[in-house]
Every structure is written in structure tokens, then in C-alpha cells.
């Protein structure tokens, strides 16, 4: 991402989602969710800016699949120049939960971005055994992602109420 776009993100100014090639929506409603969350949350702006300086490309989608109780981040593919992740948010989540869940999953994307050696499912498992803990069959969690989710939830509440 060009430096100007990163500076716009960090300054808090509105930035079109098209200027965020590292975080992409698969549908218009998801594009709106991403744009609104970036606009309202300095933490999310920082996460997106960090991803913009990495080889990670993230696609964000909503799904009603029962296999995704709340949200997940999955490594889809890795090539020489890029690693592709898919963030899936459960479409049945309460409306006010989408922003914090997106932030939580973007934190996971940043965690993966910080470890260039993670290029496949085995690499993901090794990483999360090192920096997090198991939260189910082939599912992992980190304190950092939980903290980001809680902080963004507070940010978004303050912005609505105040």
C-alpha cells in the first residue's frame, strides 16, 4: 500500500475500502462493515495499516455455516509474494458484534503476518501452539486477539453513546 494510504488510515480520515488492497470484502455488506469499523476504530485502522505493510491479503466474508460459531481466520494459500487469508464472521451474530469480531480476526491476521515462515496449515498450528492455546479441535486462540476484541467493543460503544 502506498505510504499516503497508510497515513490516511492512521490519521483517522475516511478512506475508501478500495484503497485497502490487503483487506478485501467479498460482498457489498461486508465492504460497508469494514469501512465503518475502520472509520470508527483507531485500533482497527492500526491493524489494517500493519497488514498493508505485509504480504498478507485478507478476504472477509459472512457465513451462516454452523461450522463457524462466531468467527475464524483461515490460511487459504501462499505464493512466493503473498499469503491469502479468509476471515469468516458468522452472519447470525448480533449486529453490534461484527466490528469487535472483525478486529479480533484482524489481530490473528497480524499475528500470522508477523511470522513470514507460516505458509501452510502446519505452520499455523506451530505458531498458535507457541503464541496461544488450543480452543478446540484444530482451533486456537490468543490473549492479544481477545484483548483487541474487548478494546474495540469499548471503542465502538463510546462512539455510539458519546
Each residue's pLDDT tens digit, 10-41: 444 444 444 448 999 999 999 999 999 999 99
Q: Return the bridge partners of 61, or none.
A: 88
* Tens of pLDDT, residues 91-132: 998 878 999 999 999 999 999 999 999 999 999 999 999 999
CB 111 within 8 A of CB 148: no
- Which residues span the domain enclosing 71? 3-161
Number of helices and strands in the chain (H, E)? 6, 6
- Per DSSP, the three-state class of 63 is strand
Cα 63 from Cα 46, distance rounded (Å): 26
CB 31 within 8 A of CB 17: yes
What's the total number of domains in the chain?
1
Predicted model pTM: 0.85
Cα end-to-end span (Å), the chain: 33
pLDDT-based confidence at residue 159 (cuts at 50, 70, 90) = low
Mode of pairing for the β-strands spanning 56-63 and 71-78: unpaired
Amino acid at each position: 500500500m502506498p505510504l499516503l494510504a497508510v497515513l490516511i488510515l492512521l490519521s483517522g480520515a475516511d478512506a475508501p475500502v478500495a484503497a485497502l488492497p490487503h483487506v478485501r470484502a467479498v460482498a457489498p455488506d461486508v465492504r460497508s462493515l469494514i469501512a465503518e469499523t475502520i472509520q470508527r476504530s483507531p485500533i482497527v485502522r492500526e491493524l489494517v495499516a500493519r497488514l498493508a505493510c505485509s504480504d498478507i491479503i485478507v478476504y472477509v466474508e459472512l457465513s451462516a455455516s454452523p461450522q463457524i460459531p462466531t468467527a475464524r481466520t483461515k490460511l487459504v494459500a501462499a505464493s512466493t509474494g503473498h499469503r491469502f487469508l479468509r476471515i469468516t464472521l458468522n452472519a447470525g451474530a448480533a449486529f453490534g458484534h461484527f466490528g469487535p469480531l472483525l478486529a479480533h480476526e484482524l489481530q490473528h491476521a497480524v499475528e500470522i503476518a508477523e511470522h513470514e515462515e507460516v505458509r501452510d496449515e502446519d505452520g499455523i498450528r506451530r505458531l498458535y501452539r507457541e503464541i496461544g492455546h488450543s480452543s478446540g479441535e484444530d482451533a486456537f486462540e490468543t490473549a492479544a486477539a481477545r484483548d483487541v476484541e474487548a478494546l474495540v467493543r469499548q471503542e465502538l460503544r463510546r462512539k455510539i453513546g458519546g
